[in-house]
Amino acid sequence: MVTDLPNLQDIENAARVVYREFQATPQYRWGLSSQRLGTDCWIKHENHTPVGAFKIRGGLTYFDALKQRGPLPAEVISATRGNHGQSIGWAARAHGVACTIVVPIGNSLEKNAAMRALGVTLIERGQDFQESREFAMQLAAERGAHIVPSFHADLLRGVASYWWEFMQAVPQLDMVYVPIGQGSGACAAIAAKLALRRTLRIVGVVSAHATTYADSLAAGHVVEAPVTTQLADGMACRIADQAALDIIAAHIDHLVQVTDDEVAQAMRDLYADTHNVAEGAGAASFAAAMQERHQFKGQVVGTTLCGGNVDSATLASVLRP
């Protein structure tokens, strides 16, 4: 659970834990991307972490907190569409803990392979992330294993370190676009903004084909929504997390919904502009910025290439529309 957002000291401590494994990721003002948006566009490259996505930061701080509290569990279990699983798998391996990850049937082949390469025992169960999550919780209860949630304060501290890096490196940012899956990225951006006492606006981005956060924000409570996105698997959540929803509702400027077609175009744009590969969720913030580009009027805009783990066949299909 998350009751209080991490403060500046929490985030700085988390960054030190992260930097035992890798250094701060870069952020660049890309000329072609700025040209597309008609204003200065900075892109934070979380695709440059050792697992190709921002989630590893949370895994590292989660296990560090577990270790500080007492003996580590013999086994951890979690559910994922891929990047969270790689994060937990990486950290579990580093601490000598057995790790089982549950993914939906038909999950990304290359994300599955990447998790197995980290020593993860992979189980395919459920038609979507929510069904995988429910099975993971049941399995953990049966085995007496430790369940690692998708949203937790100990994950949030680590994830906040990347927004802390970004906001310090580019203090002139006026607004940032943040994709929302289960909410750790958006809540981490909010935490970093508050910790650094910045006035920038945080814009949430959801898939138009996975609208639980949009619907829940509009209703004022968690609303389940069907998931039909074929491209933004990192945002394919059917049920919003209440704790994340509360934080987002209190601090987000507004929300943008992006279609799979818009995400695909953003993946093509980012490849052409930066020659970096973006997965669907990794391109979503740029897709949202493109949607709102006529409103910027000279503002400095930040987007995040938060993951680059897309299957080769999918990428080839997107690049050849």
Which pLDDT does position 119 carry in this prediction? Answer: 96
Rounded Cα–Cα distance for residues 127 and 161 (Å): 33
pLDDT value, residue 2: 59
Q: What is the dihedral of CA 84, 89, 94, 99, to 10 degrees?
A: 130
C-beta of residue 167 within 8 angstroms of C-beta of residue 195: no
What pLDDT is attached to residue 219? 97
- Single out the residue of 192, 179, 159, 185 nearest to residue 58, CA to CA: 159
Predicted local distance difference test score (pLDDT) of residue 175: 98
- pLDDT recorded at residue 317: 97
Whether the model clears a pTM of 0.75, i.e. scores above it, the answer is yes
State the span(s) of the chain assigned CATH 3.40.50.1100: 8-53+153-319, 56-147
pLDDT at 17: 98
- Scan for tokens 């990486």, then name that residue: 90
- CATH number of the domain at 8-53+153-319, out of 3.40.50.2000, 3.40.30.10, 3.40.50.300, 3.40.50.1100? 3.40.50.1100
CATH code 3.40.50.10540 for 56-147: no
Query: Tell me, what's the pLDDT at 124?
Result: 97
> What per-residue confidence (pLDDT) applies to 70?
87
Q: Report, as ranges of residue numbers, the positions in the chain whose pLDDT lies below 50.
A: none
pLDDT value, residue 1 = 52
Amino acid 312: pLDDT: 97
